[in-house]
Structures are given as structure tokens and as C-alpha cells.
Copies of this chain bind each other. A is one copy, B any other.
């Protein structure tokens, strides 16, 4: 329940208490799942958690960052991807697959990523991918790389990467599950590179 402080804001809203942060995150997760990314506002999350919108901004920053916090990723995908974005765009696919596999092949990180992937692929959470993960995580990679038409090309990249994740890590299908990292990169880099910078219809 809400804690009231005599010097606090009006309307019975909660101030920062030890569990305020987790109450905001829980409200954010419910809202993103129920209303999608586009249908979620900081204001509505704050109201649902019984706090001021300013407190949500204070804890989490923008809606993008609240979304990433609600996903509970074990790594910040934007930091993870940074080395892939830096460098010539002609080898971006190799670098991208490299940092990507480094995270997914890490036994400390993989279980959390598999849980997140299952959540994203859950039909009940459809809009998390289309409205949240694509614009917040995936399309900015294309923008940072300076490719043309990133909003068209990055979903193609996502369609191959998601299939690879599903086969190699979630469903653990051979020979992909045991394929050495370098071979995975050499197998998939031409596909990803064409989607990033190649001729498309």
C-alpha cells in the first residue's frame, strides 16, 4: 500500500520507498503486455503504481529506458551492440553476429536471454516485439550504421536472427545448437550483410 509522508505530494501518491522501483516495474510490465509499447505512457504507469510521473522519470528516464528495464535483460543491448556499430558497414554483419553470439553463448547470460526470447515470442506479448523491441533495440542499430531504409531492413535482420535464436538456443536443434561460433558467423554473415546493405527488391 501507499506510504504517506506529511510533507509529500498530494493525492496520496507514493514517494520513493524501498519497493517503489519494483512497483513501477511491475506496473510497466503489465501495461506493455496489455497495451503494447505505443499504448503505454509514463503517466499511466505512474498512476497504476500510485506514484508521480516525475518519480518514474527519476528512476528510469525515458519510456524507451523504462521498456528496457521492464524486459529485465541481463545485458543492455545498446551497450552490447556498440562495438558492432563502430567500424565499416561492409563488415557490420560479422561484428553484429560476433557480439551477439558472445552474449548468447555465455552460460551466465544465456538463461535470462532465453527467458526474454520466450516472452517476446509469446503470442500474448505480440506487440512487445513489433512496438517495443524493434523500434527501441533493433532499428537504432540500422540507424547508427547509417544504412538506407533501416525500418525495412532491420526487420529482415530480425527475421533471421530470431530464427537462429529459436533453433540454436531455445529449441536447441542440431547441428545449429553445437555449431562452433566461427562457423555460425560465417554461415549467417552473408545473409545479414545482404539484409543490411545488399540489393533488395
Chain A residues at the B interface, C-beta cutoff of 8 Å: 118, 121, 123, 126, 129-130, 134, 151-152, 155-156, 158-164, 166-168, 170-176, 182-183, 186-187, 190-191, 194, 200-201
Contacts and interface: CB of A to CB of B under 8 A. Distances in A.
24 contacts: A121-B170, A123-B170, A126-B170, A126-B171, A130-B171, A151-B175, A152-B175, A155-B173, A156-B187, A158-B167, A158-B173, A159-B166, A159-B168, A159-B176, A160-B160, A160-B191, A161-B163, A162-B163, A162-B167, A163-B163, A182-B201, A186-B200, A190-B194, A191-B194
Contacts of A121: 121, 166, 170-171
A97 to B, nearest CB: 12
Contacts of A126: 170-172
CB-CB nearest 8 A-B residue pairs = A163-B163, A186-B201, A159-B163, A130-B173, A162-B163, A159-B167, A191-B191, A126-B171
A129 to B, nearest CB: 5
A164 B171 contact: no
A139 to B, nearest CB: 12
Contacts of A173: 129-130, 134, 155, 158
A166 B134 CA distance: 14
A174 B151 CA distance: 9
A15 B161 CA distance: 49
A159 B152 contact: no
A98 B85 CA distance: 35
Nearest to A131: B173
Nearest to A115: B123
